[in-house]
């Protein structure tokens, strides 16, 4: 299938497709139907999966169940999945090299169904959570715990040329990150299963353990990698699941104040969970008052730290709207500019929301003259943190259910994409059950269904 970008910026950067020879696992197995002979289970069994069918179009389809392809593969029977803000970038076609027919989903947990002969430390029936990135466990970066920068699991040449270095493969996240089938499905193939799966203890139900895949580790990384210190005033752009847990973790790491910035009901949702939090609804600011001006009213010198938990694809003003539309940039610099002009001099700004490529009108002067520390947090190396974070979940220091508003069925996930995108029905974070899920654990929201 031909690679396909649906944004003009995307097509611009897609001219040079190719693959390096760095990867030690097979690439572009984004749906077993691509090559049933080699990728589908010989039984001929099918499964339900969420498939990208073009810009703003996802469908639940019956596709072949995956098979073991390599000796360290695990086939996981999925018992819990979810939708991430990153999936919206895929839905919108903002991420390059997504192909029609690709199975999405990078946050999931389940039970080991089968495994290749070289997998160690796991057995059939183990209940595990998967990391969203696929790491080899043994390269330069993996040895440093920086698993999202694994050099052995993604051979995409465009990604290498654009970024100047390798990044890890990611489940269900386009061919730009290796082309792996995702976990919004009943089964998923997990390469290097012994590295990319973490066993869940009985005391941590799927409804809590699932989020160690991504959102918990990502928000933690956002806070600690940007260097939040005791006493800091922290401003967070975006009150979605990532922004919410970053607020939680900023307080946990000693922030004295946290100010969340967004434009909808999610601010009230955060306030209901963390009464200490302060909020700015940028859509309700008086005409002529910028987010920066409002923040300086609240914190005269400016916050110590700014965290970007939104993304580059959402333009605020007309200039960036048209530049994005015309492919003159892939990302808007509006939020980054708000961050760098808001923080105090020598303040720290961390970028966790996804930025794809190039941006115009960046306030490089403010960054230079005021000594602003602009920090790319990377795709978060969740495996660096997940053992400690699991312990904190076990001890009750972290409660992932604080962000989970809905329990839904895999069969209705196409509808959930649309509701999550439009921020409808008070949807903050969902738990997606499959036919293999256990009954809801204590504290899990009741099942919501829309189709008869
Ligand atoms: N780096 C990583 O490892 C990693 C991992 C997971 C998610 N992410 C990214 O983090 C970002 C947030 O994820 P999420 O699941 O919370 O997404 P989300 O889309 O649910 O939330 C984003 C929030 O930002 C708000 N927003 C939009 N424009 C804004 C603006 N100009 N100023 C302030 N707020 C604005 C939206 O109203 C929304 O509530 C996404 O870009 C996602 O791709 C990164
Ligand atoms: Zn994600
Ligand atoms: Zn590696």
CA separation for the pair 93, 85 (Å, rounded):
13
CA separation for the pair 22, 152 (Å, rounded):
6
pLDDT tier at 96, thresholds 50, 70, 90: confident
For 282, which DSSP code? G
Asked if the domains at 8-214+381-433 and 219-376 fall in one CATH topology, the answer is no
CA of 309 to the centre of ligand 2 (A): 11
What integer pLDDT is reported at residue 15 of this predicted model? 41
CA of 380 to the centre of ligand 2 (A): 9
Element (H, E) at 23: none
CA of 224 to the centre of ligand 2 (A): 18
In this predicted structure, the answer to whether residue 5 has a pLDDT above a threshold of 50 is: no
Structure tokens at 348: 């720290």
Digit-coded pLDDT (tens) for 115-161: 999 999 999 999 999 999 999 999 999 999 999 999 999 999 888 99
**Which of these, 384, 138, 48, lies nearest to 151 by C-alpha position?**
138
Cβ neighbors of 381 (< 8 A, separation 6 or more) are: 133, 145, 146, 147, 148, 149, 217, 221
208 lines ligand 1 (CB under 6 A): no
337 lines ligand 1 (CB under 6 A): no
Please report where in the chains the tokens 């975006």 appear, as a residue: 238
CATH T-level topology, domain 8-214+381-433: Quinone Oxidoreductase; Chain A, domain 1 (3.90.180)
pLDDT tier at 18, thresholds 50, 70, 90: low
What integer pLDDT is reported at residue 197 of this predicted model? 98
CA of 353 to the centre of ligand 3 (A): 23
- For ligand 1, atom 13, name the residue with the nearest CA: 85
Does the structural domain 219-376 have CATH classification 1.10.1270.20?
no
340 lines ligand 1 (CB under 6 A): no
240 lines ligand 1 (CB under 6 A): yes
Domain residue spans in the chain?
8-214+381-433, 219-376
Interval 245-258 mean pLDDT: 98
């Amino acid at each position: 299938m031909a690679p396909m970008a649906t944004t003009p910026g995307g097509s611009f950067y897609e001219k040079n497709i190719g693959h390096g020879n760095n990867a030690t696992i097979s690439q572009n197995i984004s749906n077993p139907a691509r090559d049933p002979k080699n990728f589908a289970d010989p039984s001929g069994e099918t499964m339900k999966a969420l498939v990208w069918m073009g810009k703003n179009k996802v469908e639940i389809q019956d596709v072949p169940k995956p098979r073991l392809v390599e000796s360290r593969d695990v086939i996981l029977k999925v018992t819990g999945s979810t939708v991430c803000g990153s999936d919206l970038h895929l839905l919108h076609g903002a991420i390059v090299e997504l192909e029609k027919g690709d199975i999405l989903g990078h946050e999931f947990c389940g039970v080991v169904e089968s495994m290749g002969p070289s997998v160690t430390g796991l057995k059939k029936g183990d209940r595990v959570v998967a990391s969203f990135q696929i790491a080899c466990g043994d390269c330069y970066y993996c040895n440093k715990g920086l698993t999202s920068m694994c050099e052995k699991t993604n051979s995409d040449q465009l990604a290498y040329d654009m970024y100047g270095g390798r990044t890890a493969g990611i489940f269900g996240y386009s061919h730009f990150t290796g082309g792996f089938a995702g976990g919004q499905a009943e089964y998923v193939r997990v390469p290097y299963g012994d590295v990319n799966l973490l066993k869940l203890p009985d005391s941590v139900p799927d409804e809590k353990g699932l989020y160690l895949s991504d959102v918990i580790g990502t928000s933690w990384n956002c806070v600690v990698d940007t260097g939040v210190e005791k006493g800091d005033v922290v401003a967070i752009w975006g009150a979605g699941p990532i922004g919410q847990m970053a607020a939680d973790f900023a307080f946990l790491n000693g922030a004295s104040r946290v100010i969340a910035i967004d434009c909808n009901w999610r601010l009230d949702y955060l306030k209901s969970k963390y009464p200490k939090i302060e909020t700015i609804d940028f859509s309700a600011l008086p005409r002529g008052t910028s987010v920066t001006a409002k923040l300086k009213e609240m914190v005269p010198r400016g916050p110590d730290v700014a965290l970007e938990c939104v993304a580059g694809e959402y333009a605020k003003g007309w200039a960036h709207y048209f530049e994005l539309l015309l492919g003159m940039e892939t990302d808007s610099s509006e939020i980054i500019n708000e961050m760098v002009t808001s923080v105090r001099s020598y303040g720290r700004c961390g970028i966790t929301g996804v930025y794809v490529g190039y941006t115009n009108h960046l306030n490089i002067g403010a960054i230079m003259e005021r000594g602003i520390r602009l920090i790319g947090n990377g795709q978060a190396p969740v495996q660096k943190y997940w053992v400690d974070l699991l312990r904190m979940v076990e001890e009750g220091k972290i409660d992932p259910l604080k962000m989970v508003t809905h329990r839904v069925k895999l069969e209705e996930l196409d509808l959930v994409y649309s509701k999550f995108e439009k921020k409808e029905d008070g949807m903050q974070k969902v738990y997606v059950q499959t036919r293999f899920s256990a009954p809801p654990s204590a504290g899990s929201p009741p099942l919501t269904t829309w189709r008869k």
